[in-house]
Amino acid sequence: MASENRTVLVTGGGGLVGKAVKHCIEQLGEHREGETWIFCTSKDGDLNDLESTRALFAKYKPTHVLHLAALVGGLYANMARNLDFFRVNMQINDNVLRVAHETDVNKVVSCLSSCIFPDDITYPIDETSLHMGPPHDSNFGYSYAKRMVEVLNRGYNEQHGRQFVSVIPTNVYGPNDNFHLHNSHVIPGLIHKIYLRKQDPEKYPFKVMGSGKPLRQFIFSHDLAKLMIWVVRDYFDKDPIILSVGEKAEISIRDAVKQICVGLDYPFEELEFDTSKADGQYKKTVSNEKLMKILPDFTFTPFDKAIKETCEWFVTNYDTCRK
């Protein structure tokens, strides 16, 4: 099916989700006639700098923007640098949306996160719950910066008629993730640590941080990429939409560790949990009811299959992946 000519600029194109979108466009048959997708990284322009952002837009002249660029990190990075996460992400988001407005971009889709929802709230969370209370203390800087994207979207929509909208994914994982040992999200960090322990248990005496009891909804990056491509093309609601597996797919960190052990062929029984370390938010269950009403036939990749594919990719690409 052909579409009107469009140029889609993807910020953060070198990250987990950006590379997943590129993979879907180039290798999974998601490309459409008349579309040009441009995947930019920090090497192409500094989105913290307004003039650099303007130069990037002037070079590529996008009609659409998929805004994925952000300063991100795991639980402990957020706890240590809440101010940095707030200031950097506020600047990036303001620059991108400001320049998109200045250059008359047709549509901007920005990526939020389910971790930004209120901590003290009735579950499951839906799209209307975003501003109904403070986020969890562990990542308040990142959370408030991301919430302000929705405030900016509403302002540009009401004051200038702009089609600026946000998507809210749950915890994303997959090939091309950041597998850093100390500054990554839970699944890639665990994959790397368990992999090293398997190679040399004495050199890498790893314990899982926390009790393993917190619950999470994890979404495979390729599934999220397909949904984001759909939002860029075919979602015209001005309100945000949660992109997530359903409530029944929520699992504990402990069960996620078990599945990673299967993917890496390592005995789960040999791992210990360090309960002296913080667990972070116990749960943040979201509802994907809005998404499923619009796309009732969308099928998510089973967690065990996607984890195995991610583990295999990590082992194969160990020497060159982000770690």
Token digits for 297?
């036939």
pLDDT at 2: 44
Q: How far is CA 182 from CA 185, 192, 323, in A?
A: 9, 10, 9
Would 138 be classed as within a structural domain? yes
Number of CB atoms found within 10 A of residue 282's CB: 11
Q: Is 144 an active-site residue?
A: no
In the prediction, which pLDDT does 8 show? 98
- Pairing type for strands 251-252 and 215-216 reads antiparallel
Q: Decide if 147 is inside a domain.
A: yes
Q: Say if 208 falls within a structural domain.
A: no
Evaluate whether 171 touches 250 at the Cβ level (below 8 Å): no
Tell whether 61 is covered by a domain. yes
pLDDT at 136: 84
Q: What is the pLDDT along the chain (323 residues), one digit of tens a residue?
A: 445 789 999 999 999 999 999 999 998 888 899 999 999 999 999 999 999 999 999 999 999 999 999 988 777 777 788 999 999 999 999 999 999 999 999 999 999 988 888 888 888 999 999 999 998 888 899 999 999 999 999 999 999 999 999 999 999 999 999 998 887 888 999 999 999 999 998 888 888 989 999 999 999 999 999 999 999 999 999 999 999 999 999 999 999 999 999 999 999 999 999 999 888 778 889 999 999 999 999 999 999 999 999 999 999 999 999 88
Q: What are phi and psi of 27, to 5 degrees?
A: -125, -15
* Structural domain includes residue 206: no
Phi, psi of 128 (to 5 degrees): -80, -5
How high is the pLDDT of residue 1? Answer: 40
In this prediction, residue 279 carries a pLDDT of 85
* DSSP reduced 3-state for 12: coil
Residue 147 has a pLDDT of: 95
How many angstroms separate the Cα of 96 from the Cα of each of 49, 55, 88, 116? Answer: 10, 11, 12, 20
Q: Is residue 210 part of a domain?
A: no
Start-to-end CA distance of the chain, whole Å, equals 39
Residue 181 lies in a domain: no
Q: Domain holding 114: CATH number?
A: 3.40.50.720
pLDDT of residue 121: 85
> How much is the pLDDT for 302?
96
Residues 180 and 189: beta-carbon distance below 8 Å: yes
Q: Which domain holds residue 162?
A: 6-173+218-246+285-301
- Which of 76, 142, 173, 282 is the catalytic position? 142
Outline where the chain has alpha helix (H): 16-27, 50-60, 75-80, 82-102, 140-160, 186-199, 221-234, 253-264, 289-294, 303-316
Claim: this prediction has a pTM higher than 0.75: yes
Based on the structure, what is the number of domains in the chain? 1
Task: Tell whether 276 is covered by a domain.
Answer: no
